[in-house]
């Protein structure tokens, strides 16, 4: 079986590489056409369940409940969302709602989910918390310095990849990936993407007060990031379309290695 066929079997749906591959050209044009036709949906969800990214451990305005998060997942899935990245800055054991969200997104909606541990890495003693997650549809992302600390997750069937994205927006063109994505912080405020999390000039409203489709179709809202904007120390780390691309590349490498093994093994 080819790599592409196996990926399509596991991750049923359209090609997740298309968007990141065309970061400059095709995405912009397709998204603009979609906006004109009223067909733009939420393909990627980026959920920051803790505001450690902003130096805060408690969400301003009150944290979202597990039920709130699940309703966001449901709404996004109903509008075509296939991929979610959940960014967690605290210990996973302090966020039981994350596991609930992942299990629900995978079992109810068949979504592919990345868990982006940008603060404290998953501890070995917490591996029992991961029971119930679909390993084939889950990947753990972490900064490079903590990748070794969570390498043990591979022994439990999970993919482990770097969350770091090296391109900087002072050197890259404007980014239109947010035209198919929304990013929600711990108190439910939506932003264009994680790069501008907490910057109200990129605020899209509250996820429990506005419908996602209304937000995505609102052309008065900022659904793109201009060239030259690179003020976050986290850069584009954990960005869903880029992380999904990475997951696909890993799946293809594994498949090629498996095909090579099979070709080399005696009949």
CA angle 153, 159, 162 (to 5 degrees): 100
Q: Which two tokens stand for residue 133?
A: 């997650």
Instruction: Please provide the DSSP assignment of 50-70 as one string.
Output: SGGGGT-SS-TT-PPPHHHHH
Q: CB 201 → ligand SF4: shortest distance, Å? A: 14
Q: Which two tokens stand for residue 266?
A: 């005696």
Element (H, E) at 204: strand 203-206
CA distance linking residue 113 with residue 184, whole number of Å = 15
Largest distance between two CA atoms of the chain: 64
Site residues (vs ligand SF4, CB under 6 A): 169, 175, 177-178, 193-195, 225, 236, 239, 242
With beta carbons less than 8 A apart as the criterion, state whether 13 and 244 touch: no
Could you give the strand order of the β-sheet that contains 83-88, starting from the edge strand earlier in sequence?
A: 159-162, 138-142, 112-117, 83-88, 44-48, 181-184, 189-191, 203-206
């Amino acid at each position: 079986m080819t790599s592409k066929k196996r990926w399509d079997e596991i991750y049923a749906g359209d090609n997740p590489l298309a968007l990141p591959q065309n970061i400059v050209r095709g995405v912009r044009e397709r998204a603009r056409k979609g906006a004109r036709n009223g067909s733009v949906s939420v393909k990627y969800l980026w959920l920051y369940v803790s505001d450690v990214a902003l130096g805060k451990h408690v969400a301003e305005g009150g944290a979202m409940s597990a039920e709130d998060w699940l309703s966001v997942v449901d709404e996004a899935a109903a509008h075509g969302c296939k991929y979610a990245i959940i960014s967690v800055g605290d210990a996973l054991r302090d966020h039981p709602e994350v596991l609930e969200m992942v299990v629900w997104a995978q079992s109810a909606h068949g979504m592919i989910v990345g868990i982006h541990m940008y603060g404290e890495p998953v501890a070995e003693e917490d591996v029992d918390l991961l029971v119930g997650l679909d390993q084939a549809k889950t990947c753990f992302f972490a900064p490079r310095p903590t990748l070794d600390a969570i390498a043990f997750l591979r022994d439990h069937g999970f993919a482990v990849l770097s969350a770091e994205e090296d391109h900087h927006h002072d050197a890259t063109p404007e980014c239109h990936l947010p035209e198919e994505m929304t990013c929600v912080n711990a108190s439910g405020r939506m932003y264009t993407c994680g790069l501008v999390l907490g910057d109200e000039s990129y605020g899209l409203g509250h996820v429990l007060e506005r419908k996602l489709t209304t937000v995505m179709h609102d052309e008065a809202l900022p659904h793109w990031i201009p060239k030259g904007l690179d003020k976050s120390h986290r850069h584009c780390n954990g960005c869903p379309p880029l992380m999904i691309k990475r997951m696909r590349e890993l799946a293809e490498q594994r498949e090629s290695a498996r095909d090579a093994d099979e070709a080399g093994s005696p009949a």
